[in-house]
Structure 1
Amino acid sequence: MSEHAPVIAALLTERTRRMMLDDAAIAQLNGLGSVRWPAGATLDAAEVDRLLQGATACLTGWGTPPFDPAARQRHPQLALVAHSAGSVRTLVPATLFDEGLRVSHAASKIAASVAEFVVAEALLAMRGIHRLHHALRGGGEWLDVRTAVPQRLLGARTVGIVGAGYVGRAVIRLLVPFGCRVLVVDPYLDDREADALGVVNARLGDALAWSDVISLHAPVLPETRRMIGARELALLRPGTLFINTARAELVDEAALLAEIRSGRIEAALDVFDHEPLPPDSPFRDPALANVTISPHAAGHTEEAHLAQGRAMVDEIGRLLRREPLHHEVSRAMLDRMA
C-alpha cells in the first residue's frame, strides 16, 4: 500500500471484529487504504484517539467508545464514521454532524433479523407452542393439553405496529402475506405510503385497543419515552400479545410487569430497563408462563452481522471513490431515529 494511501481506522473490539467481518471483508477493507487496527482486544478513548490520527474514515461497531464533541477539532481530516451496528445516537454527538462529519450506519441490515424474530414470537404465541411443550413435558394428558391451550391463526388477527422505520416496515412486509390486518402508528407515515404497504394508519390508543398483537418499533425520543404506561396497557384486550424488541424505555416496565402478573395479557420481551437482566429480576420468575424473555437477541444473526460489516466496508469505499453514500444518516434524520 502506498504511503499516500488513505488511512482507515478500524475502531472495533476484537469480539466485534470477529462478528462483523469475514476474511473477504477484511481483505476488501485492506484494499481501500492503510488500515489501523487496535493493539489489544478492547478499546478505550485514548486508543480511539490514537487510531484516528490522520484517518480519513473509521469503521465502528458495538463496543466502540462514544466520540467526544471535540473529536472533529482534533481530527479535522476525518470525513466518515461508518457504523456497523444500528443506532448512532449515543456514538456520535449531534454537534459533529453540524461540523460536517458524515455518518453512515448499518441499521437497515439488522431489520430482517428483528422482523423474523417478531413474527416467530407472534406465531409461537398464537399457537401456544411453549405452553404445549411444557404441559406435555410436565406429564399432561395428550388431549387435555391440546384442549387447554387455545390455538389461533395469525393470519386472522389484527396486528398493531408502533413505528414504521427500517424494522417496522420489515415486520409489515412479513406480516401482510399472512393476511393480517395491520395497523400502524407513526406520525411520519402518510396515507399514501400506508396504502402502498397494505396497512392502515391508526392512533396509538386505537391500535392498542383493537389489536391482537402489538409490536413496538419506535425510536426513543422525548415524546416516545415511556409512551406505554398503565393507562395505555389497560386498553389492551385480554389475551393480547405485547412484543417489545425495540427499546425498554418506550414502556413503563413496572406497569407492564403488573399487567403480566395479572395474567390478562401475554408478552414477548427482548429488551429491559436493566441489561443484562439481573438474576433476581421478576421477569425471570418461572411462574410467569405468559411471558417469554430473550437477551436482547432479536437483531443478532450471523448473516445480519456479516451483512452489516460488508455494508460499512462498501460505504467507506464509496466515500474514497467520491460516490454517493447508500446508508448516510443526515442531521435531520438524527432527531427522529432510534
Structure 2
Amino acid sequence: MTANLDPASLASLEALGPVAYEPFRERMRLLTDASLVEALAGVQVFVTEIDVVDAASMAALPDLRVVASCRGDAVNVDVEAATRLGIPVLNAPGRNADAVADLAVAGMLMLARKLAPANAFLRDGSVRAGDMGKMGQAFQAFRGRELWHKTVGLVGLGAVGRGVARRLAGFGARVRVFDPFLPPEAIVRAGAEPATLEALLAESDFVSLHAPVTPETEGMIDAAALSRMKPGACLVNTARAALVDEPALVEALSSGRLGGLATDVFPVEPPGHEHPLLAFENVVATPHVGGNTEEVAAHQGRIIAEDLARLLSGEAPRFALNPAAVEGFTLDRARPALDEAERAALAARPAPAVTDLQKKKPKAEPAAVAQPTAAAKPQTAVTTEPPPETVDAMQRIVAAFVAGIVADPALASFAHDKSVTLHFLLIDLPIEFHFRLDAGEVRGALAAPLEPPEVELRMRADVLDGMFTGRVNPMQSALSGGLSFSGDTAKAMTLQQIQEDLSRLWCAAREAEGDPGDLASLPDPNGAAAPAIVPAAGEDDVRHELVALVEELYRQELITATGGNVSVRVPDRPDELWITPSQLFKGDLRPELLVRIDLDGKRLEGRLSPSSEWMMHCAVYRAKPEATAVVHAHAAHATILANAGLPFLPISTEAAFFGNIPRIPFIMPGTRELADAIGSAIGDGWAVMMQNHGLLVGGRTLRRAADMVEIIDRSAQVMLGCWNLGKEPPVLPEEIVATLRAMGDLVA
C-alpha cells in the first residue's frame, strides 16, 4: 500500500490480510513501469494514490487481483486494461470533499473580508508602528462583508457541494443550487433552494462551482454567464478550470463587474507568476491544494477498507470503476489470459497519468522549456561568478558522465521501449546537458537538446551531485524546492527507474575526473537563474543598447519588474535575435544574461530561457523584414485604452502617424495563437494593442521602437484625461491627418 492511510483504516486493512505499508510521502517514490512490477511481485491487492498502473505492468503481474486507487477520478490506472484482465478497480469518490468544501468557504471569506490585501498591508515597508494615518487607510480600504444573509449559489450538489451547503448554514447564508441531475426535493433536504442557472447567477452574491467537467459543462461560465451575474458578485472555483472561459473571466475582472475570484485550479498547473489572473488584487489563488489535508488519509482509507472488505466477502463494493470485473470475483479465480494481439492492443492505448490535467490534454509535442519555479517577486541575478576551477571540474565530470550514459549497455537495454528526453540545467553553474532514451538507442550531449524535451530539471550543482552519490533523494528534493521539473510527470519517473545506473556512471566519472570541490559553497542564486553562457559583450555590441533601453523603459514604468520584454535582431544575422530572458528582474539586466534564438525559437546562445513571449516577437520579424527591434510593454494607459475599446485618435502630429492602432482580444500569453494574431494584425503598421496584455511595437531601430512606445502611451494618457473630464479629445484636421498618416512609416 503506497497511499497515505490513517492508523484506523490501516488496522482495518490489516484485518483482511498481511499488509506492506510503504506510503509514497515517506518513501519518496512514485512507482511506474519496471519499478512498479518489481515492487508488486507476489502482491494480490494494490492500494495506490499516484503510482501509474498501466496495461503492461498489470499483464506482468499475474498475482495482482485488485487495484484500489485512492482518488475520485482514477486517471493513474488503465481501467479498461484492468477490466480485460479481470482486475476490479476500486476508487474513493468524495475522499476530499470536506477538504475542498472548507477551501471553498475559506475563499468566500477571504474575498468578503479582503484578507489577502489586508494581510499584505501590514507587511508594507511604509507602515510604521503607531501610524494612525495608516490605520485610517486600512479602515477605509478593508471594509468587508459578512456571509450573513448573503445568497450563495452552488453549481452542482455532489459531495463537495453538500459540504459547502452544510458549512454555510452556520453563517446564516441563503443557499441556492443549480443541479439538473437532482430532483428539487433532494436539494431542499440539503438545506438549499433549487434554482435555474440563470436565476442563480442573477441573484447570488457568491457563485461556487462544484460540477464535473463534461461536454455540457465545459466553459459553462462564459462571457454570457459572467454578464448575468450580479454586479460585484464573486466567483469561487475549487472544481476544474475547464468550467470557466478564462479570457472572459479576465475581462470580467478587468471591467470590475466581477467583484473577485477565489480559484484553486488553472488550465496549466502551476500557472506561472505572469498569469493574467494573478495580476488582480481581488483574486485569491492557490496551487490546487483543495484536497491536500492530513485528514484525507482517514477518509480515503475508510472508503477503500470498507469496499475491499465487501469485495473479499462476496458483496458488491459501493465504488468500483469496472463492475464487469467485480461480477463473480474471488481472489482465487483465474485471470483471463490475453494473447499477443490483445496485449499489443492494450499497450497501444493512451497511457494513464499522474494527474487528470496530463491525462486529458491532447497528445502533442513534448513540453517546451520549463517555466522557472522562482517566486513572482522581483529577483536579482547572481552577480558573484562561480570559481573557474569549479566550473571546469564540473564540466569535465558532466562530459564524462554523458559519454558514459551514451555508451552504457544497461541503459541501452532499458531504453528498448522508451521515448524520453531529460534535460538538466544547473542554476548555479553555466552547465546544462541532456540525454535521450529512444527505442534502444541512447543519445546525449553537454548542451540543450535540439528538440523540446519531455522533461526538464533545474537544480543546484550540489543537488545534482547529491542525487547521484546518494546524499539527496530526488523526490524529497523536488517536494522541498531543491529540484524543479516540468513536463510529463510519469516520464520524469524514468530518472527514478535508472537511478542506480546513473549513480554508477556519475561516480565513475567523478573518480576519473576528480573531486569537483565544495559545491555547497557556490553562490546561492535564491531561486534566480544562473548567469548565461554568453561571451562578454564588446563596447559596440547591440546588447548594451538593448539593456540600456530596458532600464529606461523600467524607470518610465512602461515595463514592470518581470513583465514586458524586448528583442533586437543580431546584426548581419536577420534570422536571429537577442531577447530578454524569462522571469528575470528587469531592473538588473546585464548583456551576458540575454538569450540568442532563431525565428523558430531555438536557443542558440545563453544559459537562461528566452522570454515566454518569444513567439510574438518572431511573428513581427517574419511579418516585417525591415523591423530590427520589438518591444512588448505593459504600458498602463495604452492598455486601458485597449481594454475600454476606445479609439486611438490623432490628437497630435506624433499620434497621427499611427492611425487607429489595431487591437486584438485577450489571448493567452506565450501561445502560438497570440503570435499568429499579432502577425496578422500588424499589417503595414508598427504597433498592436492587446487587451489585458499591453502594447507591442516594432521598429527599424531599438531607439525608435522605444520612442514609439512612449509616444503611444503618453498620447493614450492625454486621450483618457479628456474623456475622464467628459470632453471628447480634440483631433487634428482630416487633411493634416491624411498627410501625416501617409508618412507614418517614417516614425519607425
Pair in the same fold by TM > 0.5 = yes
CA distance in 1, matches of 2:141, 2:28: 56
Matched position secondary structure for 2:295: helix
Question: How far is 1:331 from its partner?
Answer: 6.2
1:41 to 29, 33, 43: 29
The reply to whether residue 118 of structure 1 matches residue 110 of structure 2 is no
Question: How far is 1:71 from its partner?
Answer: 7.4
| Deviates most, 268-277 or 318-327 | 318-327
Matched position secondary structure for 2:94: helix
Paired residue for 1:165?
158
Greater relative contact order, per chain length (Cα 8 Å cut-off, separation 6+): 1
Question: How far is 1:96 from its partner?
Answer: 4.8
CA distance in 2, matches of 1:231, 1:331: 40
The reply to whether residue 325 of structure 1 matches residue 309 of structure 2 is no
CA distance in 2, matches of 1:227, 1:71: 38
CA distance in 1, matches of 2:103, 2:29: 30
Paired residue for 2:69?
83
The answer to whether the 8 A contact 1:191-1:201 is kept is yes
Paired residue for 1:220?
213
Question: How far is 1:177 from its partner?
Answer: 3.1
1:271 to 251, 256, 265: 265
Which amino acid letter does the alignment assign opposite residue 57 of structure 1?
V
CA distance in 1, matches of 2:252, 2:297: 35
1:200 to 163, 177, 193: 193
Paired residue for 1:229?
222
Question: Could you list the per-position Cα deviations for residues 75-114 of structure 1 after superposition, in whole angstroms to 9, with x for gaps in the alignment?
Answer: 6875533211232256343575588643332232211111
What is the number of equivalent residue pairs in this alignment? Answer: 313
CA distance in 2, matches of 1:192, 1:79: 41
Residue 228 to residue 92, structure 1, CA distance change in 2 (3 Å): farther
The reply to whether residue 147 of structure 1 matches residue 140 of structure 2 is yes
Residue 31 to residue 199, structure 1, CA distance change in 2 (3 Å): closer
CA distance in 1, matches of 2:177, 2:68: 31
The answer to whether the 8 A contact 1:268-1:291 is kept is yes
Residue 315 to residue 179, structure 1, CA distance change in 2 (3 Å): same
The reply to whether residue 67 of structure 1 matches residue 54 of structure 2 is yes
Question: How far is 1:310 from its partner?
Answer: 4.4
CA distance in 1, matches of 2:85, 2:166: 37
Residue 239 to residue 97, structure 1, CA distance change in 2 (3 Å): farther
Which amino acid letter does the alignment assign opposite residue 54 of structure 2?
F
Residue 42 to residue 99, structure 1, CA distance change in 2 (3 Å): closer
- Give the structure-1-normalised TM-score: 0.79
Which amino acid letter does the alignment assign opposite residue 239 of structure 1?
G
Paired residue for 1:179?
172
2:93 to 80, 99, 107: 107
Paired residue for 2:251?
258
Paired residue for 2:296?
304
CA distance in 1, matches of 2:225, 2:283: 18
Which amino acid letter does the alignment assign opposite residue 90 of structure 2?
S
Paired residue for 1:292?
284
Which amino acid letter does the alignment assign opposite residue 74 of structure 2?
V
The answer to whether the 8 A contact 1:82-1:315 is kept is no
Matched position secondary structure for 2:96: helix
Question: Could you list the per-position Cα deviations for residues 231-256 of structure 1 after superposition, in whole angstroms to 9, with x for gaps in the alignment?
Answer: 11111222211111111111112221
Q: Which has the larger radius of gyration?
A: 2
Question: How far is 1:329 from its partner?
Answer: 4.6
The answer to whether the 8 A contact 1:247-1:271 is kept is yes
Question: How far is 1:284 from its partner?
Answer: 3.1
Matched position secondary structure for 2:95: helix
Q: Which runs of 5+ in 2 are unaligned?
A: 128-132, 325-355, 357-748
Residue 318 to residue 197, structure 1, CA distance change in 2 (3 Å): same
CA distance in 1, matches of 2:215, 2:91: 22
| Deviates most, 134-143 or 258-267 | 134-143
Paired residue for 1:245?
238
The answer to whether the 8 A contact 1:94-1:331 is kept is no
Matched position secondary structure for 1:155: coil
CA distance in 1, matches of 2:61, 2:195: 46
Matched position secondary structure for 2:301: helix
Residue 190 to residue 101, structure 1, CA distance change in 2 (3 Å): farther
| Deviates most, 317-326 or 28-37 | 28-37
CA distance in 1, matches of 2:282, 2:167: 24
Residue 261 to residue 91, structure 1, CA distance change in 2 (3 Å): farther
| Deviates most, 292-301 or 224-233 | 224-233
Question: How far is 1:291 from its partner?
Answer: 0.3
Question: How far is 1:271 from its partner?
Answer: 0.4
Question: Could you list the per-position Cα deviations for residues 286-335 of structure 1 after superposition, in whole angstroms to 9, with x for gaps in the alignment?
Answer: xx111011010111111123432343244334333334534445669xxx
Paired residue for 2:5?
21
| Deviates most, 249-258 or 317-326 | 317-326
Which amino acid letter does the alignment assign opposite residue 192 of structure 1?
E
2:46 to 53, 58, 67: 58
The answer to whether the 8 A contact 2:51-2:76 is kept is no
Question: Could you list the per-position Cα deviations for residues 37-92 of structure 1 after superposition, in whole angstroms to 9, with x for gaps in the alignment?
Answer: 7898221133434556665432121x221534x77776687553321123225634
Question: How far is 1:156 from its partner?
Answer: 1.1
Paired residue for 2:695?
none
Matched position secondary structure for 1:161: strand
TM superposition outliers: structure 1 runs of 4+ over 6 Å: 36-40, 70-77
The answer to whether the 8 A contact 1:162-1:215 is kept is yes
Question: How far is 1:179 from its partner?
Answer: 2.3
Matched position secondary structure for 1:193: helix
The answer to whether the 8 A contact 1:36-1:51 is kept is no
Matched position secondary structure for 1:234: helix
Residue 177 to residue 331, structure 1, CA distance change in 2 (3 Å): farther
The answer to whether the 8 A contact 1:136-1:145 is kept is no
Question: Could you list the per-position Cα deviations for residues 256-291 of structure 1 after superposition, in whole angstroms to 9, with x for gaps in the alignment?
Answer: 122223333200010001112223322333xx1110
Question: How far is 1:201 from its partner?
Answer: 1.8
